[in-house]
């Protein structure tokens, strides 16, 4: 069984994430959307909400699982029996950064390969960081969010304030 992990903060899940996930789906028998918990990073949305949103989007996909983890991605991947990591690339800057991480992961965990998918051009400007800034400043981020979760994200933000 070909199992892959797509790790990320998904804070929030954007159309860029959805593009990469949808294109990775046919490549693997099992795709784990892994929300990493980083104690050094302050999330805008609680882990439970981010998991709920991904589950809402991929509810009809039998080969998608949504999980959370803390610690090293390679350890989580080993626990899940994954041989692949999926990473999305928007630019050459992303490539250089992700290439370094992929090489380090491979040196620490022989047999764990990283698959890079270049996002569609219409999503190359979307990042969770920028979308968070738009949301924090009460801008309209709906053009960058999946329709199933855009309203829920806005509601969650309203409740936080």
- Alpha-carbon distance of 84 to 78, in angstroms, equals 10
The residues that are catalytic are: 17, 41, 90, 128
Give the tokens for residue 88.
């999305």
Give CA angle at 139 (21, 44), nearest 5°: 55
The predicted-structure confidence for 70-103, as pLDDT tens digits, reads as follows 999 999 999 999 999 999 999 888 899 999 999 9
What DSSP string describes 87-134? EEESSHHHHHHHHHHHHHHHHHSTT-EEEEEEPPGGGTT--HHHHHHH
Which sequence spans correspond to the domains of the chain? 3-160
Residue 35, pLDDT score: 97
The SS3 call for residue 33 is strand
131 phi-psi bin (left φ>0, alpha ψ -120 to 50, beta other): alpha
pLDDT number for residue 161 = 63
The whole-number pLDDT of residue 156 equals 76
Mean pLDDT, the chain, whole residue set: 93
Q: Using 70 as the pLDDT threshold, list the residues of the chain that sit under it.
A: 39, 161
| Among candidate residues 51, 15, 42, the one with its CA nearest the CA of residue 150 | 15
Distances, alpha carbon 41 to alpha carbons 34, 37, 45, 60, in Å = 16, 8, 12, 31
pTM over 0.85: yes
CATH superfamily for domain 3-160:
HUPs (3.40.50.620)
Please provide residue 101's backbone torsions phi and psi, each rounded to the nearest 5 degrees: -65, -40
């Amino acid at each position: 069984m070909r199992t892959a992990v797509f790790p990320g903060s998904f804070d929030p899940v954007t159309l860029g994430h959805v593009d990469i996930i949808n294109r990775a789906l046919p490549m693997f028998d099992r795709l784990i959307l892994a929300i990493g918990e980083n104690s050094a990073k302050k999330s805008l949305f609680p882990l439970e909400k981010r998991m709920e949103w991904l589950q809402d989007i991929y509810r009809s996909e039998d080969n998608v699982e949504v999980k959370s983890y803390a610690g090293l991605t390679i350890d989580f991947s080993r626990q899940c029996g994954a041989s692949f990591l999926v990473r999305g690339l928007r630019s050459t800057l992303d490539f250089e950064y992700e290439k370094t991480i992929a090489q380090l992961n491979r040196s620490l965990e022989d047999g764990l390969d990283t698959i890079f998918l270049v996002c569609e051009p219409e999503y190359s400007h979307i990042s969770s960081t920028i979308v968070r800034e738009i949301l924090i400043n009460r801008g309209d981020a709906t053009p960058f969010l999946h329709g199933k979760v855009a309203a829920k994200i806005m509601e969650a933000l309203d409740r936080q304030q």
